Structure 1
Amino acid sequence: MDLKDLRKQIDEIDSSLVELYEKRMEVSSAIADYKIANGKKVYDRERELEKIKTVKGLTHSDFNSIGIEELFSQIMSMSRKLQYQKLSEQGASLRLPFIPIDSLMGSAKRVCYQGAEGAYSEEATIRFFGKDVNCFHVDSFRDAFGALEDGSADYAVLPIENSTAGIVSEVYDLLTEYENYIVGEQIIDIKHCLLGVPGARLEDITTVYSHPQSLMQSARFLAEHSDIKQISMKNNAFAARKVSDDKDKTQAAIASRRAGEVYGLEIIQEAINQAESNSTRFIVVTNQKVFLKGAGKISLCLEIPHEAGSLYHIMSHFIYNGLNMTKIESRPIEDRNWEYRFFIDFDGNLEDSAVKNALRGLREEAKMMKILGNY
Structure 2
Amino acid sequence: MLDLKAIRDDIDVIDKQIVELFEKRMKLTNEVAEYKISTGKKVYDKEREEQKLATLKALASNEFNKHGIEELFTQIMSMSRKYQYRLVTAENQYNNFIQKEKIDMDENTKVVYFGVRGSYTEEAMENYFGENIQSFHEETFKGVMEALKMGRADYGVLPIENSSTGSIADIYDLLVQYDNYIIGEHIVKVDQALLGLPDAKLEDIRTVYSHVQGLLQSSKFLDTLNDVTRMEYASTASSAKKVLEDNDITQAAIASVRAGKCYGLKVLKEAINYNDANSTRFIIITNKKMFLKSALKTSICFELPHASGTLYNMLSHFIYNNLSMTNIESRPLEGRSWEYRFFVDFEGNLNDPGVKNALNGINAEAINMRILGSF
TM-score class, shorter: over 0.9
Tell me the equivalent position of 1:351: 351
How far apart in 2 are the matches of 1:356 and 1:149? 27
Map 1:332-343 → 2, pairs under 5 A: 332-343=332-343
Structure 1 residue 280: Cα displacement:
0.6
Aligned residues: 372
Secondary structure, counterpart of 2:223 in structure 1: helix
Q: Unmatched 5+ residue regions in structure 2?
A: none
Residue 57 of structure 2 is matched in structure 1 by 56
Aligned-residue sequence identity (percent) comes to 53
For 1:100, the equivalent position in structure 2 comes to: 99
- Deviations for 1:118-175, whole angstroms, at most 9, x for unmatched residues? 1111111111111233111112111111111111111110011111111111110010
Alignment of 1:298-309 (within 5 A): 298-309=298-309
> How far apart are 1:222 and its partner, in Å?
1.1
CA contact (8 A) 1:87 1:93 kept: no
Deviation of 1:107 (Å): 2.4
C-alpha displacement of 1:83: 0.9
Question: Which range moves more in the overlay, 359-368 or 205-214?
Answer: 205-214
Instruction: State how far apart, in whole Å, the 1-side matches of 2:102 and 2:19 are.
Output: 50
- Indicate if the aligned counterparts of 1:297 and 1:348 stay in contact, CA closer than 8 A: yes
In structure 1, the residue matched to 2:226 is 226
Whether the 8 Å CA contact 1:111–1:156 is kept in 2: the answer is yes
Query: Does the 8 Å contact 1:196/1:243 carry over to 2?
Result: yes
> In the TM superposition, what is the alpha-carbon distance from 1:228 to its structure 2 partner?
1.8
- Aligned residue number for residue 35 of structure 2: 34
Contact in 2 for aligned 1:98/1:291 (Cα 8 Å): yes
In structure 1, how many angstroms separate the alpha carbons of the residues matched to 2:28 and 2:221?
67
Q: Report the counterpart of residue 184 of structure 1 in structure 2.
A: 184
Q: Residue in 1 aligned with 2:361? A: 361
- Matched residues in 1 for 2:346 and 2:226: separation? 43
Scaled by the length of structure 1, the TM-score of the pair is 0.97
Q: Specify the code of the residue in structure 2 equivalent to 1:298.
A: T
Aligned to 2:19: 18
Partner of residue 262, structure 1:
262
CA drift at 1:16: 1.2
- Per-residue deviation at 1:251? 1.3
Q: CA deviation at 1:106?
A: 2.5
Judge which range, 195-204 or 72-81, deviates more: 195-204
CA distance in structure 2 between the partners assigned to 1:343 and 1:4 by the alignment = 48
CA distance in 1, matches of 2:361, 2:286: 26
For 2:126 and 2:133, the matched residues in 1 are separated by 7
1:3 maps to 4
1:211-261 deviation line (CA, Å, top 9, x unaligned): 122112111211111222221111111110111012222211110011111
- How big is the shift at 1:190? 0.8
1:132 aligns with 132
1:327 maps to 327
Provide the rounded CA distance (Å) in 2 between the counterparts of 1:211 and 1:350: 35
Matched, 1:175 2:180: no
Q: Distance in 1 between matches of 2:347 and 2:374?
A: 9
Shift of 1:93: 8.1
3-state SS, counterpart of residue 224 of structure 1: coil
CA–CA separation in structure 2 for the residues paired with 1:93 and 1:329: 26
Q: CA RMSD in A?
A: 1.2
Matched residue of 1:239: which SS?
A: helix
Q: For the residues of structure 1 that align with 2:350 and 2:107, how far apart are their CA atoms?
A: 27
**Alpha-carbon distance in 1 for matches of 2:370, 2:106:** 28
2:341 corresponds to which letter in structure 1? R
State whether residues 101 and 294 of structure 2, in contact with CA within 8 Å, keep that contact through their aligned partners in structure 1. no
> Equivalent residue for 1:152?
152
Match of 1:66 in 2: 67
The 8 Å contact of residues 126 and 133 in structure 1, kept in 2 or not, is answered as no
- Matched with 1:142 is 142
State the one-letter code of the partner of 1:103.
Answer: K
In the alignment, is residue 237 of structure 1 matched against residue 237 of structure 2? yes
Alignment partner of 1:131: what SS? coil
Say which SS state the counterpart of residue 295 (structure 2) adopts.
Answer: coil
Q: Which amino acid aligns with 2:115?
A: G
Q: Is the 8 Å Cα contact of residues 114 and 140 (structure 2) preserved in structure 1?
A: yes
Q: Would you say the 8 A contact 2:219–2:273 is kept in 1?
A: yes
For 1:294 and 1:24, locate their aligned partners in 2 and report how far apart those are by CA, in whole Å. Answer: 39
Matched, 1:292 2:288: no
Equivalent residue of 2:160, what SS?
strand
Letter in 2 for 1:13: I
Q: Secondary structure at the match of 1:96?
A: helix
2-side partners of 1:312 and 1:106: how far apart? Answer: 45
In structure 2, how many angstroms separate the alpha carbons of the residues matched to 1:349 and 1:106? 25
8 A Cα contact 2:37 2:88, kept in partner: yes
Aligned partners of 1:187 and 1:280 also within 8 Å: yes
In the alignment, is the contact (CA less than 8 A) between 1:194 and 1:254 conserved in 2? yes
CA distance in structure 1 between the aligned counterparts of 2:114 and 2:323, rounded to whole angstroms? 33
Aligned-residue offset at 1:291 = 0.5
* TM-aligned CA deviation for residue 4 of structure 1: 1.0
